[in-house]
Each structure stands twice: as structure tokens, then as C-alpha cells.
Chains A and B, each alone.
Chain A
């Protein structure tokens, strides 16, 4: 039987070459030696001191971090629901936090031998999240909350930060060697569709899935138990990560008070919890390292 002609018709629609070599492998860096982070003692509670600085913009290199108390918090491969990581990839993070009566900033630092920003199939992003109880911390389960016991999560991804800094990548950036004749409603010679009509050919966008649009560094999420997390509109949080020599240093900042979400107050104690994903180890979703309980946190 001869090769059928229809297949070649298709090749006029989409002619693409396999991407080979390291040049199109994206942003993965080769493993590097872990940068020395000054040792930090394990802590069982976090004290958040006041600083006189603008905290609305996250800044991992700001001078106020030098005086902030730092502590080490243990993480464990997420043990509650499948799929779970086989091993713990991030067994600790170093944490510090400051506030200025209007905003609170958390500085997280953890070793990760390769920088991963995702993009192509099978690539996953380095990420971290801070979780707050919406209500009473003593009743709220520390792992994703529970029914009518919501948690408020600030989820930073290296991928989202890349979006923020360089724009959401187009297909020809993700696959530089791919050649495409045309997309529906985007003909080179005769552009014929509105942006909304073009989006109809991208189901995630057409359905308004936040995942399909350019991100701002940090997603705000409300969850009431496993499988329930939902991205919220309106970003009052911000994040900035720096990967240097095999170590991420990330600052996530947020207003102390968020209507309809979680709130912290000067003089009061609550709890926070952290999670870390190593994209290079294919961690995503429930494949992550987490804390097993809330870290008592007092805003001084």
C-alpha cells in the first residue's frame, strides 16, 4: 500500500521539525553547587518584627532581611493523598518574615540544583507556596484546609515569574524549530479574526481558565480540602524569586488584611504553612514537599 496523500496534506498545514539539542531545551540550568546560606536553627514558631520599609514590592536582597530572625523549617514529601513523591526532594526551607503594619513579607530559601521554568510538555516549574487559615487556625487542617475551613494560599511559580518578566511564551518561543503555516483566524496575509474569535481555538482561554493567561508571579488560591483549590481573581500578593548557584531565595509579600481571604493583625498569633515543588524532579500538584503542621506565627 502506498503512502497516503492525505497525510501530506496535513504536512502543509503544520510542518514542524523536531527540536534537538540543548539550544531549545528552555531555561534549565546545569546543576550548580549550592550557594552557602548562613546556617539557621530549627524553629517551632515564627516571630514577625516590624520594619520601616515599603513591603508592597517583594525584594529578596533588601537590607531589612539582614536583621530579620531566620529559622529552619522541616518539610516532608506530601504524605496524605496520591499521587505522592517517592522521596522528599526538599527536606527543609529557611524562613524569615517582616511586616510594616500594612504588608507582611516572607523570605523563603531552599536548595534546588536546577532552575526549572516549565513551558514544554513534561517540563514542570519550580514553585513554592505559603498557606494561611481564613478562620481559626486551631480548627483549620494544615493540608489544604477542609470543608468550611478554607485556607488562603499564595502560590509562586518560576514559570509565572517568567511570564511577568518576559511575557507568556508563544509557541515559537517554546519550540523554536517548529514551523506553522497558519492558525485559524490569524492568516498572515489576511488577518480575519478578533482576539476573542482567535481565543475560541484555545479551549483553556475560551473557558477563561486563569492557567491559560499570562501570570503575575503569584496565584492567590482558596481551598477547602484536597482537590478543591481554586484560583481567585484579584492579586493582592506578589512574589520575586532569585535562583543563584543551586538555591532559590523567594520573597512573597501580601497585605496584612485581605477582604474575603485571610488576615493577620499586629499583636496576634496565627499559623502559616509552606510547600515547595522541584520542577526538575517532575514535581507538580500533589507531588510536593510540605509541612505537617501549622507554624505558629506572631506578628509583633
Chain B
């Protein structure tokens, strides 16, 4: 089996096909400290792409509450249980097996097959706390408190080494050279469901009406026009940004995604140990259980949280975070100077300019011009 370079794991891994990175790689960074699970992203995706027959329970984008929520049910727990305990090395390299390396001889990927019922409760576990028991109520009497949860918005990760693509016996799944978006060819898929079994993140979904499988298409019609996906541009919390990520050796300091992932180490891939090099990256929540975060984001999570907590002293990173959600267009390059953060498109044209610190204006409580008391109620 070919060996490919997986920089998330700091080593070569086995993959079904030869190493070939696309010219550009679609990626999203999410700031989990800001997500409020309003599901606006979910609805934006749902109304755009999956309102048809056979898609009633299909959410290419979903937001689940961790640790208890999961769509489909317990997807993370079940694949982690199947893989078993694995270890990271002291220098951050992964010592365990990936899903492809751990596959039985008759399979391409170690997997589990979710049942119909597993998909039927898309928002199960919402707001359920982790951390200890809740005897006598889950009150939080002291800080830091031991009860915790966080929201995890998820799309297809358009992995560099997709399990769905590796598992498809019909070669009906492909990764686009121009942007790395992974697509299921709707004219060629025959609905065997191998990708539904194989994707550990469970972002390939079966449509029983068309009898073929479907998945998040990364909003490629928008991306082709320089516009970010629906789930990103509709995010009212401005917690996510889509752009293109480079491998570490080609990382550019003025590329927003490269800066957050490579330069600052603020954003991490989730469950990198599964070995697919997923391209959705998360700024981890600073208040959640650290062991849980280690399991989900790997050994660099402590550094990422420290970097996040140091943001007030970092005008460039703070400025970049202000750019998130400030434009529908894909920001290829950014700069922070003179108190402003500026985003540019792929041709160097300015897309947006925002203040890093909003100006504070104090007004008198009484507006003599109209004879009314001002208040802050919008």
C-alpha cells in the first residue's frame, strides 16, 4: 500500500492511493469559544442543499453538543472504541494506527455502519453537561466549575486522505484538483454505502430516494466564484472562516488559514489520529475538560489554548479574528496595520477593512434634541 505524508501525525501513513495534494485545499477554521449552537449554519446548508426527498434527516452541516451529543448517535465514541487506545509520542508524533492501517484484511478502512435509528436524532444531547454527576442539580457553585460542554459545528472535512474515497469500490468519489473538495459523483454512485460506513466523521449519507450517497459539497459553486460556503457566510456568531490551507512547508504568514493553523497553532484538526488529515480546524474551547480535548484534538491542544488566551497581547492575531465573518468573499491574504485588519482577494484587491478595536462612543443618557431618554435596547 502506498505511503503518504500526514503532517497532522508527523509521520508517513498508509493510504489506498499515491500521495497527491491538490493545487489548493479548501479548509474552514471554527472558533469553538464563540459557537452558541444557534444552528443557523445547519439551516443555511439545509435550505440550500438538502430539502429534497430522501434528505429529510440529512444534515451536511450539523452542530452537536459535546461530550454527549452526536449526529449520527455516538459516531465519535463508536469509531474510537473500534480503533482502541492509541498513543502519541513525546514530540507530538502519532505512534498508533490510523483507520486504514488498522483495517482488517478484507476491508479497506476500519469502520462501523450507523443504523437508520442513529441518524434520527440530529440534536440529541443538546446542552447536556459533562463532568461529574449532577446530584441535586447541576449548579455551578464555584469557578472554575467541573461541569462543562461545548458546541461542535461540523461539515465534511474534505480530507487530504479521505476514507470515503478510499473505500468506494466504484471509484465514484473524487477530490478536485483545483480546491481539494471531495465529491461523490452523483451519476456514478450506486449506493453501496461503503463511504457511509468508512467515513469516521459520518459525513457521507445515504439517500434512500435516489438510492445513492450524498455529502457536503463544500459549496463549490460559490467557492468557484470566490465566495465562502453557506454555513460560513450565514454564521451569525462569526465563528468560522473558509479559505485555503497550505502544507506546513508552504505556509504563508499572510494567509488567514495558514496563520491560524501553522503560524499560531491556534486551530487544530479534530480526531487527527484517525489518519485522514481532515481540513476543518478548531480553535479549542478553553473551558472544557482537558483530557477530553486531548482525545479530540491531540497533544497540541494545550499550546493552542495558551495561544488563544494570549490573544489580547497579539494585535495581528486579534485583528485576523476580527476579519472572520466580515465578508462573504474568500480572503486569500490579510494584513493588520494602523489599527485596521484588511482582507484581500486572490488578485490582491481589498475585500474588507475592519477596526481591530471598535471605537467606543459615550452619549448622554438624555437626548435633548428629541426630548427622550436613550437606552441600549436595540
Contact = CB atoms under 8 A, between A and B. Distances in A.
Contacts of A285: 169-170, 190, 192, 194
B208 interface: yes
Interface in A139-185: 170-171, 174, 178, 180, 183-184
Nearest to B46: A10
B191 interface: yes
Chain B interface size, under 10 / 10 to 19 / 20 to 34 / 35 or more:
35 or more
A38 interface: no
A19 B208 CA distance: 15
Contacts of A184: 51-52
A264 B139 CA distance: 79
Interface residues of A, number: 48
Interface string B3-40: 00000000000000000000000000000000011111
A206 B186 contact: yes
A171 B51 CA distance: 13
B263 interface: no
A183 B39 contact: no
Nearest to A219: B190
A178 B116 contact: no
Contacts of B71: none
Nearest to B103: A82
Contacts of A208: 187
Interface stretch (B209-217, B222-230, B265-273, B364-372): B209-217
Contacts of A218: none
Interface string A2-23: 0110110110011010110000
A3 B36 CA distance: 10
Interface in B187-202: 187-194, 196
B123 A7 contact: yes
Interface in A247-281: none
Given A120-B116, A285-B194, A4 B43 contact: no
Contact of B208 (A9, A121, A229): A121
Contacts of B169: 81-83, 226-227, 285-286
B334 interface: no
Nearest to B188: A209
A211 B209 contact: no
Among A84, A178, A204, residue most surrounded by chain B Cβ atoms (within 10 Å): A204
Contact of B210 (A18, A205, A284): A205
Among A3, A7, A226, residue most surrounded by chain B Cβ atoms (within 10 Å): A7
Contact of A171 (B42, B54, B193, B214): B54
A16 B170 contact: no
Interface of A is mostly: loop
A83 B106 contact: yes
Contacts of B208: 119-121, 171, 174
A86 interface: yes
B206 A18 contact: no
A65 to B, nearest CB: 32
A108 to B, nearest CB: 22
B207 interface: yes
A170 B186 CA distance: 20
27 contacts: A6-B40, A10-B39, A10-B43, A13-B51, A16-B120, A18-B117, A18-B121, A19-B116, A82-B106, A82-B169, A83-B169, A83-B194, A85-B106, A120-B208, A121-B119, A171-B56, A180-B56, A183-B51, A183-B53, A184-B51, A202-B53, A202-B209, A202-B210, A204-B189, A207-B186, A212-B209, A285-B170
Q: What are the 9 closest A-B residue pairs judged by CB atoms, nearest first?
A: A204-B210, A201-B52, A285-B192, A212-B210, A207-B187, A84-B106, A207-B186, A204-B212, A203-B186
Given A212-B210, A284-B193, A285-B190, 18 more contacts: A6-B39, A7-B126, A16-B120, A18-B117, A83-B108, A86-B104, A122-B193, A183-B52, A201-B52, A203-B186, A204-B186, A204-B189, A206-B186, A209-B186, A209-B188, A211-B190, A211-B210, A285-B192
